[in-house]
């Protein structure tokens, strides 16, 4: 048995959050990872707050592993970060370094046994791994590990990466070489934070599809922090240093931070949806907050598809920056037309059919006196299945809106993601089977317009070839094995 303290048991059945009837009409989040090496600091509490800032990236489970010499202390459970941890639990997680994770399931169902970090034993001691992303060669890697007689206890690709490192270490490699050997066996998207008895590793796949940043804690000597986004640094007072580069491994120990470029052909392909929707608007990418980028999307959207209207507003919260930008560029007055109940989280209690039919509004409620008799422009970041958008339009109509014009600050989502975003199969994506005009008819809006693919990339101000936009084009930067592709991709490639 692995000598781990405070491991929780698998008491809960699979969640029903992902049933087609109850799924939100959005791409589901990636995961959040956090880690630091900070002897003398309360590493568990710092990691808790880091995960708290990354909560938007996953709300199904959370976990923290700390290393006290060779001893690992681990606590993970289903639920939000604030539900999984309290002061007494954090006090039982001593150590000099920590790895944390907040999860939305992609590979592996929503069960406690699949919560991370994944901890495995090696000849050099235990390692704890937290993963953001999704491998596309999971089946092949799993078969290889089973042939090597590894006892896989979860259904996650994350555990398989951990065991691949263990296999190399057990064969004689040190931590660095073992990790690099394992990374070369992985295909797809992976941003990893890995704890060992002597230090913390951080790495990104050769395309850097999912983000990972490095921060510094102002102690003497300087200590380093890894986080999926800069908002995880801000909350603990750490300073952003730089991004972990695609195909880079950073190794944080008592000696400081060392860098190793393990991929010979890195080619940056950051997921564009991180910038449009997933990452927090106060997180920094390309030397600016994403709030600024999302405002530019709105200005570009207005330039491409302005309309005569009385008021423009965004779907809270993700549509608001683009709506402000749209207002600035179009001259249409910005206001609030929808109020969000910000205390609503995931719930196991499902509304009754009567409540569904009466239009239960758990999250958003329209302002009738603002909307009555008005021609409104409502801005959202994306439409996936269209179910929520249609209900939202009906609510605006019921509130008295005279005209409803919908504007989307990204192109039509026509292809599923295989790199860590939970999207439906292609036939469930409304834009894969219907034209913009047909979608407008289904949503019952006066007009509907999406941002162009070119406009979305132009607004980044970066090399347009350095982003993954496969969900809009079907051009996947990492080849998808046929058996994986068949599970979601059933229609022809769409040209944008």
Q: What residues act catalytically?
A: 31
Residue 231, annotated ligand binder?
no
- Name the CA dihedral angle for 327, 280, 384, 114, rounded to a multiple of 10 degrees: -170
Over the range 336-357, which residues count as b (16 or more CB within 10 Å of their CB) and which as e? Answer: ebbeeeeeeeeeeeeeeeeeee
Contact 243, 251 (CB under 8 A): no
Angle at 278 between CA 272 and CA 280, to 5 degrees: 115
Of 125, 257, 108, residue with least CA distance to 178: 125
Instruction: Give the C-alpha distances (Å, rounded to integers) separating 55 from 58, 76, 464.
Output: 6, 14, 29
Instruction: Give the C-alpha distances (Å, rounded to integers) separating 154 from 7, 26, 365.
Output: 14, 27, 40
Taking the C-alpha atoms of residue 471 and residue 477, their distance in angstroms, rounded to an integer, is 11
Q: What's the N-to-C CA distance of the chain in angstroms?
A: 53
Rounded to the nearest angstrom, the gap between the alpha carbon of residue 122 and the centroid of all alpha carbons in its chain is 30
Residue 468, annotated ligand binder?
yes
Q: Using a CB cutoff of 8 Å and minimum separation of 24, what contacts does 485-489 make?
A: 485/418, 487/425, 488/416, 488/418, 488/423, 488/424, 488/425, 488/426, 489/415, 489/416, 489/425, 489/426
Residue 318, annotated ligand binder?
yes
Binding-site residue numbers for [4Fe-4S] cluster are: 271, 417, 468, 471
Binding-site residue numbers for Mg(2+) are: 318, 380-381
Binding-site residue numbers are: 271, 318, 380-381, 417, 468, 471
């Amino acid at each position: 048995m692995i000598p781990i303290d405070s491991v929780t048991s698998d008491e809960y059945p699979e969640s029903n959050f992902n049933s087609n009837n109850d799924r939100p009409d959005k791409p589901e989040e990636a995961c959040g990872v956090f880690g630091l090496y900070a002897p003398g600091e309360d590493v568990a509490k710092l990691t808790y707050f880091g995960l708290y800032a990354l909560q938007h990236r996953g709300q199904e489970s959370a976990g923290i592993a700390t290393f006290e010499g060779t001893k690992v202390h681990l606590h993970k459970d289903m639920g939000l970060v604030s539900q999984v941890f309290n002061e007494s639990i954090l006090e039982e997680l001593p150590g000099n370094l920590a790895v944390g994770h907040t999860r939305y399931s992609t590979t592996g169902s929503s069960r406690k046994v699949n919560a991370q970090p994944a901890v495995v034993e090696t000849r050099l001691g235990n390692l704890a791994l937290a993963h953001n992303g999704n491998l596309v060669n999971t089946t092949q890697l799993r078969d290889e590990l089973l042939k090597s007689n590894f006892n896989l206890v979860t259904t996650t690709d994350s555990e398989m990466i951990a065991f691949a490192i263990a296999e190399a270490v057990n064969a004689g490699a040190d931590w660095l070489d073992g990790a690099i050997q394992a990374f070369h066996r992985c295909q797809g998207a992976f941003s990893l934070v890995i704890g060992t008895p002597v230090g913390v590793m951080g790495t990104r796949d050769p395309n850097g599809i999912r983000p990972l940043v490095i921060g510094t804690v102002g102690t003497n000597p300087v200590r380093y922090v890894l986080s999926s986004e800069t908002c995880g640094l801000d909350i603990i007072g750490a300073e952003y240093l730089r991004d972990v580069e695609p195909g880079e491994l950073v190794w944080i120990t008592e000696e400081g931070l060392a860098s190793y470029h393990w991929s010979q052909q890195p080619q940056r392909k950051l997921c564009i949806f991180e910038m449009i929707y997933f990452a927090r608007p106060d997180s920094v990418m390309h030397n600016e907050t994403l709030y600024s980028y999302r405002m530019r999307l709105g200005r570009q959207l207005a330039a491409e598809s302005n309309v005569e209207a009385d008021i423009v507003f965004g779907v809270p919260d993700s549509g608001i920056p683009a709506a402000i930008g749209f207002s600035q560029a179009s001259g249409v007055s910005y206001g609030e037309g929808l109020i969000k109940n910000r205390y609503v989280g995931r719930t196991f209690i499902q509304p009754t059919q009567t409540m569904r039919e009466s239009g239960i509004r758990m999250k958003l409620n329209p302002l009738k006196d603002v909307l009555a008799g008005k021609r409104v422009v409502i801005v959202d970041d994306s439409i996936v299945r269209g179910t929520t958008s249609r209900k939202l339009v009906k609510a605006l109509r019921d509130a008295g809106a005279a005209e409803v014009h919908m504007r989307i600050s990204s192109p039509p989502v026509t292809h599923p993601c295989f790199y860590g975003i939970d999207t439906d199969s292609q036939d469930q994506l409304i834009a894969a089977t219907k034209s913009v005009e047909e979608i407008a008819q289904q949503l019952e809006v006066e007009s509907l317009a999406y941002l162009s693919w070119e406009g979305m990339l132009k607004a980044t101000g970066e090399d347009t070839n350095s982003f993954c936009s496969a969900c809009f084009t079907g051009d996947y930067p990492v080849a998808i094995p046929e058996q994986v592709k068949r599970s979601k991709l059933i229609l022809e490639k769409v040209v944008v």
